[in-house]
């Protein structure tokens, strides 16, 4: 597989990215926003290239169930017509970060079926105090956490068309609520 991918010319790569809608973005649009503390400033975190920004689209990722018995693809989780909230734990979440993720879960309940929530664990070990979310997955090899720049507890709100509407690190219920008011009220 790698040998085939290495034979793809830059022109072919550009065509593939365009067809996958990875070249289009809303980065300068008023419908997207971010409140982001740079992950390069987080002790022990090594940036992994370009962090995804609000208004961009992302590639697919493989995720592992918390019991380790099954896997799925991120795009399969994001197949609904609602906004999708991705909550990242970060690599080694602290108690206060997990408490904030719990507050975020409570605050989005008022939006009912308009927001579907998914919790993504950034370590092989399931942290104590993890909020209960029916869609909880392990980010195998931490690839998604690295690409999304989620060194600490972070959140990404995904639009129904698959673009990032809002990103926030450290994850904050207040920041998310302020953004949601602008798009739902």
Query: Span 67-93, mean pLDDT?
Result: 93
The residue-averaged pLDDT of 48-67 equals 85
Topology given in CATH for the domain delimited by 25-184: Glutaredoxin (3.40.30)
Domain ranges for the chain = 25-184
pLDDT at 155: 97
Mean pLDDT of 167-177: 96
pLDDT in tens, 112-151: 999 999 999 998 888 999 999 989 999 988 899 988 989 8
Task: Quote the CA–CA distance of 149 and 163 in Å, as a whole number.
Answer: 16
Average pLDDT over residues 148-158: 93
Res. 41: pLDDT tops 60: no
Average pLDDT over residues 8-17: 54
Task: Name the pLDDT band for 88 (thresholds 50, 70, 90).
Answer: very high
Residue ranges with strand state E in the chain: 33-36, 62-65, 71-73, 83-88, 115-121, 136-138, 154-158, 164-169
Q: What's the mean pLDDT in 10-38? A: 61
Closest CA to 142 of 130, 134, 131, 150: 150
């Amino acid at each position: 597989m790698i040998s085939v991918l290495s034979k793809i010319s830059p022109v072919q790569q550009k065509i593939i990215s365009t067809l996958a809608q990875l070249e289009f973005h809303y980065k300068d649009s008023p419908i997207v926003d971010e409140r982001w503390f740079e992950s390069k400033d987080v002790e022990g975190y090594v940036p992994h290239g370009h962090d995804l920004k609000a208004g961009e689209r992302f590639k697919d990722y493989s995720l592992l169930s918390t019991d380790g018995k099954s896997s799925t693809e991120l795009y399969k989780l994001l197949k609904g017509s609602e906004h999708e909230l991705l909550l990242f734990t970060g690599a080694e979440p602290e108690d206060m970060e997990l408490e904030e993720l719990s507050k975020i879960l409570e605050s989005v309940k008022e939006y009912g079926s308009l927001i579907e929530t998914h919790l993504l664990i950034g370590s092989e070990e399931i942290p104590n105090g993890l909020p209960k979310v029916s869609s909880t997955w392990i980010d195998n090899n931490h690839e998604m956490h690295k690409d999304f720049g989620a060194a600490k507890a972070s959140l990404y709100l995904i639009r129904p068309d698959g673009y990032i509407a809002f990103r926030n690190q450290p994850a904050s219920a207040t920041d998310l609520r302020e953004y949601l008011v602008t798009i739902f009220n």
